[in-house]
Structure 1
Amino acid sequence: MSGSVYSRTSRVLVGTAFAAALSFSAGISGAAAESSSLIGSWSGGGSISFSSGSKERARCRAHFAKTGATSYRMSATCATPSAKVDQTAELTRTGANRYAGSFFNQQYNTGGSIRITVSGRSQSVRLSGEAGTAVFSLKKL
């Protein structure tokens, strides 16, 4: 009988350890997948609506890096038929696959708010500031 008790106890301990290991590794892979969804290089296009009323198509390439537990930094270059500009942004994860923050364009000394929603290898970007608004659709490279 003592062999049976030992055997059952060891199965419970092994089963508990196995369940804990599975739960721990699932937590790690879930956190890694969540935090890496924005990280990396992205490219795509969209449109910019200037406060003057004019509108232009634009192509952009952006790079995102993690800077903290829920914070990210973006650097991007966008080109329209009339100009090529660089901008940076500081973002915070606000929900599952959602990010918000502020952007700044040093060339034109302008900035505003930025909101990003990531869906798989695609992201929707919305920028809004005193110079105008922009909407982009980017794909992960």
Structure 2
Amino acid sequence: MPKLNGSCLCGAVSFEVVNAFDTMFLCSCDQCRQITGSAFASNLFIAADGFNWLSGADEVATYQLPARDISKSFCRVCGSGVPWASGDGMKMIVPAGSLRGEPEVVKKYRIFISEQPSWSSCLDQVEACEGLPP
């Protein structure tokens, strides 16, 4: 099966994953927006046996929100989001932005849209630029 590589921004942490993701969640809940600093978290889910750390697993730190099933793993060097294991260890959750290449995904969902802020609900109406605006 084809694989994708991924890493943190500085390259200290790298991994490979089978390019056959079960699910992608684009989550707009308050906690996901806070933990990512973005309009939504974009996470891919795959069976743990389809994932392999290539380097830097010892540079990965994880924050677990007490009393909630919300966590984030990140590179200790640059702070970039990196994959983490689900609570039961059966799945790996892979931040979509950490991958190089296009993921193949069976099902995609936008979730907790009731918590989506108005400034992010009409992004198709915001002027798009290939780089910085002129």
Specify which structure has the higher proportion of strand.
1
TM-score under structure 2 length normalisation: 0.27
Name whichever structure is richer in helix by fraction.
1
Q: TM-score, normalised by structure 1?
A: 0.26
Larger RCO of the pair (alpha carbons < 8 Å, separation 6+): 2
Q: Which has the larger radius of gyration?
A: 1
